[in-house]
Amino acid sequence: MSFWGYKELGLLGMNRRNACYVLNRNRRALYPLVDDKLKTKDILDRHQIPTPELYFSITSNFEIRLLKEIKFLKEFVVKPARGAEGRGILVIVGREGKDWRKASGELISVEQLQYHVANILSGLFSLGGTDDHAFIEYCVHSHAVFRNIAYRGVPDIRVILYRGIPTMAMLRLPTKESDGRANLHQGAVGAGVVIQEGITLGGVHHNKLIDIHPDTKVPIRGFKIPFWADILEISAKIYESFGLGYMGVDFVIDHILGPLILELNARPGLNIQLANRKGLLPRLRAIDALGSDVEKFSWEKRLDVTRNLAS
């Protein structure tokens, strides 16, 4: 092993990701399509790609009052349109008198909810602190297969799409520490996934390799993700709608609706390599070796490329 050891692993570092992949493959003008979740949803809806249903959006302060008027919704999720790293997401799972119950079990008053939305609107959670919109959408209930393995929250599946080809994937499992959220740096567990089959490898928790979920104590390895073929198919098809050469697609699997796209990411993180215990570079290079018109392949052909990727 070389002194640094990373060359052999083909690890993609932050600098190389930014300089060679994000800056090279993603046109700046296309960023708003993925940075603004409302825009993402709009495009997904137009292409009839499943995504959690949008109930309504709040774009200015006076609309915050609308929150008081919610009568028939029992559960919903409040999100900032331009939130980064899962910030500012509030999951409401029920009602107790006048208060709402959060996914964590705590109660939240209407005033607190309004304050949260006001914070979202003034850009507290947004990229770069600019003014933002909030929206309220369908609350996803996780597929039953995840019931044992995840600690509360909704596990999600991150697929890295390079030039339209699903390249690497991981399953992200919320933990007690991550408070129901599926972001790795907030303490969620990431489990690598064999991209061709949708079966999990070992996992990673806070940069530590693990094989057992720290809270549920269920083995993470060898878990079959349902609807895997659909997930790959949707991923491959989505490319034309957005045109970003290097992006992350986040899926959740609803117990009724099946795979839904939760959001897209123009600068997917690097922890997926830890979860998969593999560097991304060999796969990215293998795809680049296919020539300059990879993007023009049909989605079926692109999936073929995925199937032939060396694991």
Partner 1 sequence: MNNRKVYLISLFLILLAGALVSAKIIHGGHSVEHSYSPHLWRISVIMNLSGQGTRAKVRLTLPRENPRQTIYNEHFENGEMVFYIRERAITGNRIGFWRSELLDGFKSIQYTFSAQLRSQSYVIPQELQLPKDPLKAYPADLVHPMTLLSSEFIQSDLLKPHLKKVIGREKKVYKVVQKIYDYIRGNVEYRSEKGSKDARATLDKLTADCGGQARLFVALSRAAGIPSRIVGGIITAGGVKNTTHVWAENFIGGQWIPFDVVNDYYATLPAHYLELYRGDYSLIKHTGLKKLEYFFIVGEEKMPPLDNPWSLYILPTHFQAMVKVLLQIPVGAFVVAFCRTIIGIQTFGTFTPILLSLALRQVSLEVGLLCLGSVIFVGWLLRKVLDHLKILVIPRLSIVLTMVVIMVLVMMILGFHFGYQQVLNISLFPMVIMTWMIERFSVLEIEDGTKNALKTLLGSTVVSIVTYYILGITVIRTYLFAFPELLFVIMAFLLILGRYTGIRIVELWRFKELKKNLGEAR
Residues that bind partner 1 (CB under 8 A): 1, 4-6, 8-9, 11, 13-16, 19-20, 24, 85, 87, 111-112, 115, 118-119, 122-125, 185-187, 204, 207-209, 270, 273-274, 277
CB of 107 to partner 1, least distance (A): 16
Closer by beta carbon to partner 1, 5 or else 105: 5
Residue 158 CB burial class (10 angstroms; 0-12, 13-18, ≥19): buried
CB of 260 to partner 1, least distance (A): 24
- Between the two ends of the chain, the Cα-to-Cα distance in Å is 20
Closer by beta carbon to partner 1, 119 or else 241: 119
CB of 188 to partner 1, least distance (A): 12
Closer by beta carbon to partner 1, 24 or else 148: 24
CB of 208 to partner 1, least distance (A): 6
CB of 243 to partner 1, least distance (A): 21
Q: What is the C-alpha to C-alpha distance for residues 271 and 142, in angstroms, rounded to an integer?
A: 23
Neighbours of 83 (CB within 10 A): 20
Closer by beta carbon to partner 1, 51 or else 265: 265
Enumerate helices (H) and strands (E) in the chain, giving the number of each: 10, 13
Q: What is the C-alpha to C-alpha distance for residues 285 and 11, in angstroms, rounded to an integer?
A: 12
Closer by beta carbon to partner 1, 254 or else 263: 263
Contact 253, 142 (CB under 8 A): yes
Q: What is the C-alpha to C-alpha distance for residues 116 and 125, in angstroms, rounded to an integer?
A: 10
Strand (E) or helix (H) holding 224? none
For CA atoms 148, 197, 14, 23, the dihedral sign is: negative
Closer by beta carbon to partner 1, 129 or else 222: 129
CB of 122 to partner 1, least distance (A): 4
For CA atoms 161, 43, 140, 188, the dihedral sign is: positive
CB of 261 to partner 1, least distance (A): 23
Task: Identify the CA nearest to 195 among candidates 171, 218, 212.
Answer: 171
Closer by beta carbon to partner 1, 23 or else 229: 23
Q: What is the C-alpha to C-alpha distance for residues 221 and 199, in angstroms, rounded to an integer?
A: 8
